[in-house]
Amino acid sequence: MSITNIHPAGTMQAQMLREMQQMQSVAEAPVFPAWTGATDNASSVSFDRIMQGALSHVDQFQQVAEQKQTAVDMGKSDDLAGAMIASQQAGLSFSALVQVRNKIATGFNDLMSMSI
């Protein structure tokens, strides 16, 4: 074995480590950035702001997945696993958002059908 064979593996490991750290920072980011916990001013936290934050967060996941897939398709990147993981993450976040929407719609319909 020559030293040149060892160097690319070390470079690939360093790249994988950077990507894992990036994925960890994305995973640790708050899903609902508009909500910061209990506040004195109740008007600062609204349903609209929370949903807009969730929508933008899901959109970011989808944009990252699209960029990675495009890079793999055009041959600019050989990180197929990273592109697939980003795609799955975007799909799961979208599915979770759709489930939340469905629960909200069901709750609204239940409230509207109640007699007073």
Summarised one tens digit per residue, pLDDT across range 40-49 is 555 577 888 8
Whether 10 is in a domain gets the answer no
pLDDT of residue 11: 72
Whether 23 is in a domain gets the answer no
Please state the domain count of the chain. Answer: 1
90 within 8 A of 104, measured Cβ to Cβ:
no
> Is the pLDDT confidence value at 33 over 70?
no
Whether 13 is in a domain gets the answer no
- SS3 for the chain is CCHHHHHHHHHHHHHHHHHHHHHHHHHHCCCCCCCCCCCCCHHHCCHHHHHHHHHHHHHHHHHHHHHHHHHHHCCCCCCHHHHHHHHHHHHHHHHHHHHHHHHHHHHHHHHHHCCC
43-81 pLDDT, tens digit per residue, is 577 888 888 888 999 999 999 999 999 999 999 989 999
Q: How many CB atoms lie within 10 A of CB 54?
A: 20
Res. 7 pLDDT band, cuts 50 70 90: very low
Full domain range(s) for residue 114? 47-116
Task: Decide which of 69 and 14 is more confident.
Answer: 69
Whether 114 is in a domain gets the answer yes
Whether 28 is in a domain gets the answer no
> Is the pLDDT confidence value at 31 over 60?
no
pLDDT of residue 70: 94
Whether 19 is in a domain gets the answer no
Whether 38 is in a domain gets the answer no
Spatial CA neighbour of 29 closest among 58, 62, 69, 68: 58
Res. 35 pLDDT band, cuts 50 70 90: very low
Whether 40 is in a domain gets the answer no
